[in-house]
Amino acid sequence: MKAVRFHSYGGPEVLVYEDVPKPAPASGEVVVKVHATSVNPIDWKVRAGHLKSFRDYPLPFILGWDVSGVVESCGMDVTEWKPGDEVYGRPDIGRSGAYAEYIAVQTKDLARKPQKLDHVHSAAIPLAGLTAWQALFDTAGLQSMQKVLIHAAAGGVGHFALQFAKQKNVYVAGTASARNQEFLKQLGCDLPINYETTRFEDIVHDFDAVIESLGGEIRQRSWKVLKKGGIMVCLIGPPPSEEDAKAHGSRAAIIWAQTKPDQLAEVAKLVDSGRVRPEIAAVFPLREAAQAHKMSETEHVRGKIVLQVI
Ligand SMILES: NC(=O)c1ccc[n+]([C@@H]2O[C@H](COP(=O)([O-])OP(=O)(O)OC[C@H]3O[C@@H](n4cnc5c(N)ncnc54)[C@H](OP(=O)(O)O)[C@@H]3O)[C@@H](O)[C@H]2O)c1
């Protein structure tokens, strides 16, 4: 089969479109014919070697931890799926990914694909969508009428977080540049904040939670918007300082999203009902993965970048 692999850590140019052995399903796995996958920042962080101390991947390696496709074959003990089923999911981040024509995936990492979306749109959802869901509800425990500040609200995780929060009647302030203010409004953002002209901590106070994915001074300034007992949920390292949290009378957490098929199923329902939509910034053919990485590395993508495999 064809896949995109990298043989050494480096820039986007290390991604090579080449022939590799087609996987076979082990017990508890299915092989999925990949129709689309998406690019997440972790892809280029791994490729560049930024996460080497955290996890050393065996080279050559196939990236890609979103998949939408069709079950081609099933391993022993698989009862949930059969060939021909349309699935989407987030394959195990410790194993090789979906920048390929086929991928072997454990059944626990899959759910039925949204019926009203094509594979390109479905592939945009799992990793970013699960992260948004788990940050808002599993970790921050947000409920109707509470208030959240979502940083990078126009990005992959942020635009899902914004829409999920609005579905639960949570008040949302979101940060983005001038060019994305209208986009945030369209997604239902109650208080879009242009970070180029406005310091968010000047206008946001006593919030229940912050979803923080930018780090550095933005994290430091974000403590000021939380009410006593509020929570900062960080998506990137280093872990938030417990001392800072204590000093502000707040709580802090860092999360690493997990695949939860029940959440994927719930999100599929939301998108099928038309109440949530993935925004696609660009679709590249698989062989142009390097171009897709260059775009993602600008860190100014609106929504998601998708790689179409067939
Ligand atoms: N812990 C986990 O499990 C987990 C899971 C997923 C992602 N992550 C991490 O979370 C981060 C976000 O992921 P993502 O997929 O959402 O990334 P992304 O799609 O690449 O984010 C791009 C967005 O960031 C916005 N942005 C850039 N600078 C900003 C600033 N100073 N203030 C506000 N917004 C700004 C951009 O908006 P403008 O163009 O308008 O500036 C753009 O829409 C990444 O570092 C990723 O690695 C962690």
Q: Fill in the DSSP letter of residue 100.
A: B
Ligand 1 site, residue 256, Cβ cutoff 6 A: yes
How many angstroms separate the CA atoms of 136 and 156, rounded? 15
Q: Which residues pair with 6 in a beta bridge?
A: 15, 61
Q: For strands 251-254 and 171-176, give the pairing.
A: unpaired
81 CA distance to ligand 1 middle (Å):
34
Ligand 1 site, residue 131, Cβ cutoff 6 A: yes
Q: Is the pTM of this model over 0.95?
A: yes
Ligand 1 site, residue 180, Cβ cutoff 6 A: yes
Task: From the CA of 158, give the closest atom in ligand 1.
Answer: 16
Ligand 1 site, residue 221, Cβ cutoff 6 A: no
In tens digits, the chain (310 residues) has pLDDT values of 999 999 999 999 999 999 999 999 999 999 999 999 999 999 999 999 999 988 889 999 999 999 999 999 999 999 999 999 999 999 999 999 999 999 999 999 999 999 999 999 999 999 999 999 999 999 999 999 999 999 999 999 999 999 999 999 999 999 999 999 999 999 999 999 999 999 999 999 999 999 999 999 999 999 999 999 999 999 999 999 999 999 999 999 999 999 999 999 999 999 999 999 999 999 999 999 999 999 999 999 999 999 999 7
Protein residue whose Cα sits closest to atom 23 of ligand 1 = 155
86 CA distance to ligand 1 middle (Å):
29
Ligand 1 site, residue 54, Cβ cutoff 6 A: no
Protein residue whose Cα sits closest to atom 11 of ligand 1 = 213
Return the pLDDT at 260: 97
Q: For strands 251-254 and 280-285, give the pairing.
A: unpaired
Return the pLDDT at 55: 86
Q: Where are the beta strands (DSSP E) in the chain?
A: 2-6, 15-19, 29-39, 61-62, 67-74, 86-89, 102-106, 110-112, 147-150, 171-176, 191-194, 207-212, 226-234, 251-254, 280-285, 304-308
